[in-house]
Amino acid sequence: MDGMLSQDEINSLLNGMGTDGGADAGGDSGADAADANNGGSAGGVDESLLTEVEKDALGEVANISMGSSATTLFSLVNQKVNITTPQVSLHTWDTLAGGFERPCVFVQIQYKVGLDGTDIMVLKEHDVKVITDLMMGGDGTNTDGELGELHLSAISEAMNQMMGAAATSLSTMLGKMVDISPPEASLIDLTEFGDPADIAEFLTGTFAVVTFRMQIGDDLVDSTIMQLYPIDFAKELQNLFVTPDQSTDQSQPPEVEPAPAPQMAAPPPQQQMAPPPQQMAPPPMGYAMPPQGYGMPMGYGMPQNVNVQPAAFQSFSSDINPMQPQENIDLIKDVPLEVTVELGRTHKTINEILDFAPGTIIELEKIAGEPVDVLVNGKHVAKGEVVVIEESFGVRVTEIIK
C-alpha cells in the first residue's frame, strides 16, 4: 500500500542510516515528502528541515548533556553507566512508532529558564524496571510484573536529577542560566496510540530524533534511548551552540591606550634615629624591631610573628562505601514501597491444594509464638510480633535483619 514503510526501512531510519532512502521509501509518496511537516503522507520525512551542520551541532549538544546525565545516573544506581555518541535523524510519528512493539516510557522535559522548548526522552519498559530496582537497593534483576506508578515515580525522579545535570552543562556551554521543570513520565504503547498530539504538538509533523546506546552494569542494560526534539527547538539549540553571544562585538575589541610607565618615587630622606633608651627590654627572639620614624607603611617589609602548626587532616571512615554515597538516599525517600508481614509458609502438592475447602486447616512451617517476618518489596528486612491496635492487627518490630 502506498505511503507505508517496510520493517527494514523503519529499522534503517531508527539506526540513523539510509536517510536518502527514507524520502523514497513510500514509493510514489516521494512527491508528498515535502509536505510531511504539514500532515503529509504517512512515513514522509522532510529531510531539508535540518542541514547536516545543524544535525552535527544538535548531536554535540546532546552528547555534552548526556555525558553529565550518565555521571548522575551512576550515583543513583551505583553501577557503571556508559552512554555512547549520539546519532541524529529526522522522523515522523509513523516512522518512529512502527519500530516499537512493546510499551515504552515517555518522559517530557520542559525548559523554563534560558531556553524555550520541550523535548521528550523515550526509554524501554525493561530499562525503566532495571533502573527503578537499582534505585531501591536491588540488584537490577527484579523486573517481573507490570510497570506501575512506583516505576514512573522513580524514573521521573531519576530523569529530574539527570536532566538537571544536563541543564547545568548547557548553562556552562551557552554562557547563561538554563533550568527545567520537573519531568513527567507516562507509559505509552506506540503500536496502539492514537493521536500523537495528546503527547506533544510537535509529534504531528517531522521532528528530530537523537539516538543513544545506554549500558548499565556488565549485562543489566544494553539498550537504546532516544530524545525527540521539535525542529524549531533543535534549530535554537544549534544557533546558540554555533553562534556566541554577540551582545558586544567580539570581532573588534576596543582599543586600549597603553598605560604610562610607572614613575619611581624617590625614597623619603632618612631621618636621624635617636638611640633607644637603655632601660628598653630587648625584642623577642626572631622578631626584628622596625626603625622608628621611617616613612614605610605598617607591615611593609617587616617579618610577621606567625604561629605555624602542622597540617591536620580528617581521617577516612572505614564504614563508608565510596561506591554508595550516603546522601543519595534523600533522592528516593518519597518513593512508596510495599510492606508485607508473613505469618509463615508451607509446601503443598497440586493434589492437596485441589482438596482445599472452607474450614480446611493449613499447618505452617513455623512454631507458635515464633516472630513473624517483615518484607519490603519481597525482601526480608525485619522480624516482629503481632499486636492488636484497636480493631486492627499490627506488628511490633523486634529485630532488624542485616
> How far from chain centre, in Å, is Cα 353?
49
Show pLDDT as tens, one digit a residue, over the chain (402 residues): 445 556 566 555 555 543 444 334 333 333 333 333 333 334 578 788 888 888 888 888 888 888 888 888 888 888 888 888 889 999 888 887 766 656 888 899 888 888 888 889 888 888 999 999 898 888 888 888 888 888 888 898 888 888 888 888 888 887 888 888 888 888 887 666 667 888 888 888 899 999 998 999 888 999 888 899 999 988 888 888 776 554 434 344 444 455 554 455 455 555 455 455 455 555 555 444 544 444 444 444 455 566 667 776 665 555 555 555 555 677 788 888 889 998 888 988 998 888 888 988 888 888 887 888 999 988 889 999 888 888 788 888 999 987
What percent of the residues of the chain are helix, what percent strand, and what percent coil, each to the nearest 5?
30, 20, 50
Note the pLDDT of residue 97.
74
Note the pLDDT of residue 382.
92
Domains and CATH numbers, the chain: 7-242 (3.40.1550.10), 337-354+362-400 (2.30.330.10)
Q: Which helix (H) or strand (E) holds 68?
A: helix 52-77
d(CA 347, CA 126): 32
d(CA 17, CA 88): 10
Residue type, 288: A
Q: Which pTM does this prediction carry? A: 0.52
Note the pLDDT of residue 334.
82
Q: Dihedrals φ, ψ of 303, to 5°?
A: -65, 145
d(CA 183, CA 163): 9
Three-state DSSP class for residue 106? strand
Q: What is the dihedral of CA 357, 358, 361, 364, to 10 degrees?
A: 80
If we measure between CA atoms, which residue out of 96, 91, 2, 97 comes closest to residue 41?
2
- Which cell numbers hold the place of 179? 533550568
- Which cell numbers hold the place of 348? 503443598
What 3 state SS string does 129-186 have?
HHHHHHHCCCCCCCCCCCCCHHHHHHHHHHHHHHHHHHHHHHHHHHCCCCEECCCEEE
Three-state DSSP class for residue 379? strand
Alpha helices in 243-370 (DSSP H): 350-354
Q: Other CB atoms closer than 10 Å to residue 17's CB: what's the count?
A: 13
Note the pLDDT of residue 242.
73
**What is the DSSP-derived secondary structure letter of residue 105?**
E
Cβ atoms of residues 378 and 150 within 8 Å:
no
- Residue 126 buriedness (CB in 10 A; 0-12 / 13-18 / 19+): middle
In angstroms and rounded to an integer, the radius of gyration of the C-alpha atoms of the chain is 34
